[in-house]
Amino acid sequence: METNDSFWNAIDRIVSESKIIIDRPKGAVHPKFSDFIYRVDYGYLDNTSSMDGDGIDVWVGTDERKQVDAIMCIVDLMKRDSEIKILIGCTENEKEFIYQTHNETDYMKGILIRRL
């Protein structure tokens, strides 16, 4: 699959021009599902909006370079919506966890698109 530089440049721009808010740090318990523990920092880009009306979701990993390296495209059958989640500085293990997180139930499915 070919890369689309203008798409990734647009994502880089919105990330660089936005403040990252981590509202669910690594180790936090999900507010609705007490058996789910975040293993990667999770939050959103301040002053942005996504399909659910909240800020654009981000997963922020432990790679110190903090580069946008992938996105997850999600379909949520319970909320009946879809959206993307931007992965910033995620290791391969963190990407695998994120992928599994968005595919472990029948109600949510996602694909991981890596930046080449």
Q: What is the mean pLDDT of residues 80-94?
A: 96
Distance CA 79, CA 51 (A): 10
Judged against a pLDDT cut of 60, whether residue 97 lies above it is answered with: yes
Single-letter amino acid code for the residue at 44: Y
Distance CA 8, CA 19 (A): 18
pLDDT given at position 27: 95
pLDDT given at position 2: 55
pLDDT given at position 90: 97
Q: What is the mean pLDDT of residues 15-26?
A: 97
Angle at the Cα of 85 (from 84 to 86), degrees rounded to 5?
120
Between β-strands 68-76 and 56-60, what pairing exists: parallel, antiparallel or unpaired?
A: unpaired
- Domains plus CATH for the chain? 5-114 (3.90.80.10)
pLDDT given at position 61: 98
What letter would DSSP give residue 12? H
Q: What is the mean pLDDT of residues 2-21?
A: 91
Single pTM value for the model: 0.92
